[in-house]
Amino acid sequence: MSVQAWGIVIGVATSALLALGPWMFMVHAKLAVIAARLADLGEKVEKSAESHGELWSRYAHHETRLETHDVQFAHIAERLQEM
C-alpha cells in the first residue's frame, strides 16, 4: 500500500473513532445506571423476601396459638357443661 492509501485508511479509522467515541461513552453511562438500578432492585427484593419469610413465620406462630386457644375454649366449654 502506498502512503496515500495508508493516510486514507488512518483518516477513515480516526473519523470513525471520533464519531463513535461519544456514543460509546453514552451507552456505557446508560449501562452503568442500569447496573446500579438492578443492584438496588436486587437488594430490595432480598429485603422483601426476608420480611415475607418473617411474616409467614409470625402467621404460622399465631395460627398455632389460635388453634391452641380453640382447644382450650372447647375444654372449658365441656367442663362448664359438666357442671
Question: Once rounded to an integer, what is the mean pLDDT over residues 76-81?
Answer: 89
Q: Where are the alpha helices (DSSP H) in the chain?
A: 3-82
Interatomic CA distance for residues 32 and 57, integer angstroms: 38
Interatomic CA distance for residues 56 and 23, integer angstroms: 49
pTM of the model: 0.56
pLDDT at position 83: 78
Cα 3 to chain centroid, rounded? 56
Residues shown for the chain: 83
pLDDT in tens, 26-78: 999 999 999 999 999 999 999 999 999 999 999 999 999 999 999 999 899 88
